[in-house]
Amino acid sequence: MTGRRWVIQLLCVLVSLFMAVPIYLITLAALSSRESLDRFPLPLLPTSLSGETMTTFLRSTGVVGGLINSITIGLSTVVLSLAIGLPAGYALARYAFRGKDAYQIGLLLTRALPIVVLSVPLGRTFLDLGLYDTTYGVTLLHTALALPTTILITSAIFLGVPPEQEEAAMIFGASPLVAFVRVVLPQALPGIAASALFTFVLSWNEVLGASILTLGRRTLPAQLLATLADSPLAFRFAGGLALVLPALIFIAIVRRYLLNMWGTTLR
Amino acid sequence: MRKLWLILPSIVFMTALFAWPLVSGVLQAFSGSGTFRRMVDDPYFWEAARNTALLIVALIPLQFALAVTMALLMREKPRFAGLHFYLWVVPLAISDLAAGLVWLSIFTDRGYLNSILEKAGVESYAWLSVENPSTMFLAVLIAELWRATALVFVIVVAGLQNVPREYDEAAAVFGATYWQRLRHVILPQLKPSLQVALILRTILALEAFAVAQALTGRSFPLLVGETYQWYYTLQNPNVATAIALVVLTLSIVASIGYLRLMRP
C-alpha cells in the first residue's frame, strides 16, 4: 500500500512539474537581461535577473496603450455584463416563466458559436455605427461572450440565498429593491466577485475578436499578435509573461469557486 | 411583469450580438459570388483543415487520458493537494496566445530545450522549422495539452464528486481490482461529465490558432488562423466569414456526433 502511495505522490509531482516548469521558464526569460538572452546555452537558474527586458517591452510602441485598452475594456465588460446579467440571473433563480427552458438552452448554445463567426459581421456593422476601432465595440463583443456565463453563474449563486429572508425584509416594509440590496446582495457578493473576475480574464485573454474589431486601439494581446512576426524574441517573452501574470493571481483568488464555475455551472 | 424587465435586456443584447451577426454572416458569405470557390482554391485552406483535424484527433484522446488520470490522482488526496491543484488549474486562465509564447521560449532554436540538450552534450535541433513538420506539430500539441487539459480536469473532478465512494468501496469489498472498478464503476458514472467536456473541448480546439501562430508563424496554419489571415492580411471579410462558417459547421457536426455516440 505504501508503494502505491509513493507512485501517486510521484505522479502528482510529475504533473505539477509539467504545469509549473514552463511558467518558471517564461518568467526567467522575461526577467533576464538582453545580453544573457543572447547567450547559448541559456542559463537555467536565475543568476542574472534584470528588469531590462520588461522595461524595453513596456516602452515599445503600443504596449502601454494596449495595456490601458485591455484594462479599460476588461473593466467595462465586467460592469456591462453584470448590469445585464445580474437581473437575468436573479429572475432565472427566483421566478418561473414561459420559455425559461428555451432561454437557458439558448444561453448554452451560444457557447458553440466560434468567436470568428460573430466578429467579422460585427466588424462591418460597427464600421457603419462608428463603433469600429473603439474600446466600446470590443466591450460589446466581450460582454456578449461573457454574458451567458455571468447569467448562469449568478443564477446559481442566487439559488443559494433563501428567498424567505427577502420576503421577511419586505414584510417589515422594505421595497423589493431595498430587500435585494440589503439582504441578498451581501450574501451573494463573494460569488459575484468571482464571476466578475472570470469575466475580466475572459476579456483579457480574448485576442481574435479584439484583433478584428480594432486597428489602432488594440488590446494588449491583439497588439502582441499583430506585431508577433516582426518583434525580437525578448519582446515576445516579455509579452508572454505580461499575459500569464494575471492568470496566476486570478486562479489563486478564485480557486474556491473553480469547480462551480468551470466544473458544473458551465455545462 | 417585473420578471420580464429583468430578463428582457439580456434577450435584446444577445439577439443583437449573437443572432443578428450570425444571420448577417451567413448572408455575407453567400452573397459574394465565388467566395467559397476562392476559399477552396487556396492551398492554405486545405493545409489548415488537415492540421486542425490532425491536432484534434491527436490532442483530445491524450488530453482526456491525462485529465482523468489527474482527477483520479486528486481523488487519492495526495500530500500538498492544494498546491498541486493550484498548479494544475492555472492554465485555465492562460490564453492560447500566451501559451504559444510560453512554449516558444522552450522550443525556439536558442531556447531552453536546446540549452538543456546542449548542456547534456546533445546537438541542438530546429524544433519549429518548416523543414521539421513533425516536431512543429509536436510543439503545438504539447502547448495545447499544457494549456487546455485543465478545463477537462476541472469538469472531471466536479463529476467525480457526484460519484458516491460507497459504490467504489463496495466493488472493492467484492474483490474488484482497481482497473475493474475504474472500468465498470467510476468511468460509467463519469459519462455525462466526459460528454460535456468532449463537446466543449472539441469546439474550443477548433478555435485554437494563436498558439500555432506564436510558435510557428504561418508555417502551421489552422482554420481560425486562416480567417485572421483573410480578414487582416488579405482584406477579404467574405472569405474570412466563409471559413468561420466551416468552423461553425464542424462544431455543430462534432457536438451532434458526440451526443449520438454517447447516447445511453
Q: CB B105 to CB A25 under 8 A? A: yes
Q: Tell me if B49 sits within 8 A of B227, measured CB to CB.
A: no
What's the pTM?
Answer: 0.91
Chain A contact for B107 (CB, 8 A cutoff)? no
pLDDT at B259: 81
Cβ neighbours, 10 Å, residue B27: 11
Q: How many Å apart are CA B188 and CA B182, to the nearest integer?
A: 9
Chain A residues within 8 A of B18 when measuring between CB atoms: 110, 113, 118, 144
All three cell numbers of A236, joined, read 515576445
Question: Is position A229 within any domain?
Answer: yes
Instruction: Say what the pLDDT of residue B264 is.
Output: 61
Contact B105 A240 (CB under 8 A): yes
Reported as a pLDDT band with limits 50, 70 and 90, residue B215 is: very high
What pLDDT, in 10s, does the model give residues A107-153? 888 877 878 888 888 988 898 899 999 999 999 999 999 999 899 88
Residue B158 with chain A: CB contacts under 8 Å: 259-260, 262-264
Q: What is the DSSP string of A155-183?
A: HHHHHTS-HHHHHHHHHTT--HHHHIIII
Contact between chains at B69 and A143 (C-beta distance less than 8 A): no
* Number of domains within chain A: 2
> What is the percent of chain A where pLDDT is above 70?
96
pLDDT above 60 (res B156): yes
Disruptive mutation site among A262, A265, A266 for chain B (greatest number of B CBs within 10 Å): A262
Could you tell me if A21 and A86 lie in one domain? no
Average pLDDT, chain A: 89
Cα distance between residue B139 and residue A184, in whole Å: 49
Domain contains A267: no
In this structure, what C-alpha cell is assigned to residue A184? 441578498
- A65 and A160 assigned to the same domain: yes
Distance CA A114, CA A95 (A): 31
Q: Residue A3 has what pLDDT?
A: 85
Residue A36 lies in a domain: yes
pLDDT tens, B78-119?
A: 999 889 999 999 999 999 999 999 999 999 999 999 999 999
- A21 with A72, same domain: the answer is no
Q: Which residues in chain A have Cβ-Cβ distances shorter than 8 Å to B237? A: 120, 123-124
Q: Do B87 and A147 touch (CB under 8 A)?
A: no
- Domain final residue, candidates A33, A50, A67: A50
Residue A59: what pLDDT? 92
Range of the domain at A88: 59-262
Is pLDDT above 70 for B224? yes
Residue in the block written with cell 509564447: B101
Return d(Cα B57, Cα B67) in angstroms, integer. 16
| Cα–Cα distance for residue pair A39/B243, rounded to 1 Å | 42
What CATH number belongs to B33-97+138-261?
1.10.3720.10
Rounded to whole angstroms, the Cα distance separating B177 from B100 reads 41
Residues A175 and A245 in one domain: yes
Query: Do A29 and A69 sit in the same domain of this protein?
Result: no
C-alpha cell at B235: 482584406
| Residue A32: DSSP 8-state | B
In a domain, A166, yes or no: yes
Same domain, A46 and A145: no
pLDDT of B26 reads: 87
B122 Cβ contact list (under 8 Å, min separation 6): none
Per-residue confidence (pLDDT) for residue A257, from 0 to 100 = 74
pLDDT, average across residues B175-192: 88
Sequence length of chain B is 264
A210: CATH = 1.10.3720.10
The interface predicted TM-score (ipTM) is: 0.92
Which of A34-43, B52-61, B117-126: highest mean pLDDT? B52-61
Residue A69 lies in a domain: yes
* Greatest mean pLDDT range, A230-239, B29-38, B255-264: A230-239
CB atoms within 10 A of CB B84: 21
Question: Sorting pLDDT into bands at 50, 70 and 90, what band is B1?
Answer: low
**pLDDT category, A18, cuts 50, 70, 90?**
very high
Is the per-residue pLDDT at A266 higher than 80? no
Is residue A99 domain-shared with residue A41, that is, in the same domain? no
Give φ, ψ of A129 to 5 degrees: -90, 0
The per-residue pLDDT for A260 is 62
**Which of A15, A116, A240 has its CB closest to that of B244?**
A116
Least confident among A112-121, B136-145, B236-245:
A112-121
Please tell me whether residues A36 and A70 are part of one structural domain: no
B188-208 pLDDT per residue, tens: 888 888 988 898 899 889 989
Instruction: Convert the pLDDT of each residue in A182-198 to its tens digit.
Output: 889 888 888 898 889 88
pLDDT at A262: 54
Residue A241 scores a pLDDT above 90: yes
Name residue, grid cell 475493474: B180
Distance between CA atoms of residues A134 and A58, nearest Å = 22
What is the C-alpha end-to-end distance of chain B, expressed in Å? 40
Question: Domain check: are A6 and A73 in the same one?
Answer: no
Residue B115 is nearest to which of A42, A248, A262, comparing CB atoms?
Answer: A42
Q: B251, A206: Cβ pair inside 8 Å? A: no
pLDDT score at B153: 93
Q: Do B102 and A118 touch (CB under 8 A)?
A: no
Flag if A111 and B76 touch (Cβ within 8 Å): no
Q: Which residue has the cell 510560453?
A: B102
CB–CB contact B95 A250 (8 Å): no
> Which one has a higher pLDDT value, B194 or B259?
B194
pLDDT at A263: 52
- The predicted-structure confidence for A44-92, as pLDDT tens digits, reads as follows 888 878 898 999 999 998 899 999 999 999 999 999 999 999 999 999 9
Contact A91 B6 (CB under 8 A): yes
Are the Cβ atoms of B252 and A112 closer than 8 angstroms? yes
Please state, rounded to an integer, the average pLDDT across all residues of chain B.
90
Our measurement of the distance from residue A43's CA atom to the centroid of its chain's CA atoms, rounded to an integer in Å, reads 33
Residue A195 lies in a domain: yes
Amino acid present at B63: Q
Which residue, among A177, A251, A256, A257, would best test binding to B if mutated, counting the most B CBs under 10 Å from its CB? A251
The percentage of residues in chain B with a pLDDT greater than 90, rounded to a whole number, is 53
In a domain, A9, yes or no: yes
pLDDT interval class at A1 (50, 70, 90):
low
Q: Does B59 touch chain A (CB under 8 A)?
A: no
- Interface contact A91-B3, CB threshold 8 A: yes
Residue A248: band (very low, low, confident or very high) from pLDDT cuts 50, 70, 90: very high
Number of H helices, E strands in chain A: 14, 0
A92 belongs to a structural domain: yes
Does one domain contain both A80 and A128? Answer: yes
Which of A9, A11, A12 to probe by mutation at the B interface, max B CB count within 10 Å? A12
Residue for cell digits 496554419? B221
Using CA coordinates, name the residue in chain B closest to A14.
B84
Q: Chain A interface, mutation test: which of B6, B30, B200, most A Cβ atoms within 10 Å? A: B6
Backbone angles phi, psi at B6, to 5 degrees: -75, -35
pLDDT number for residue B246: 92
Percent of chain B clearing pLDDT 70 (strictly above): 99
Q: What pLDDT was estimated at residue A267?
A: 41
Instruction: Give dist(CA A132, CA A135) in Å, integer.
Output: 9
How high is the pLDDT of residue B167? 85
Least confident interval from A157-161, B201-205, B218-222: A157-161
- Per the model's pLDDT, the better-predicted residue between B103 and B169 turns out to be B103
Write a three-state SS string for chain B. Answer: CHHHHHHHHHHHHHHHHHHHHHHHHHHHHHHCCCHHHHHHHCHHHHHHHHHHHHHHHHHHHHHHHHHHHHHHHHHCCCCCHHHHHHHHHHHHHCCHHHHHHHHHHHHCCCCHHHHHHHHCCCCCCCCCCCCCHHHHHHHHHHHHHHHHHHHHHHHHHHHHCCCCHHHHHHHHHCCCCHHHHHHHHHHHHHHHHHHHHHHHHHHHHHHCCHHHHHHHCCCCCCHHHHHHHHHHHCCCHHHHHHHHHHHHHHHHHHHHHHHHHCCC
Question: What contacts B147, CB < 8 A, 6 or more positions away?
Answer: B91, B94, B96, B99, B211
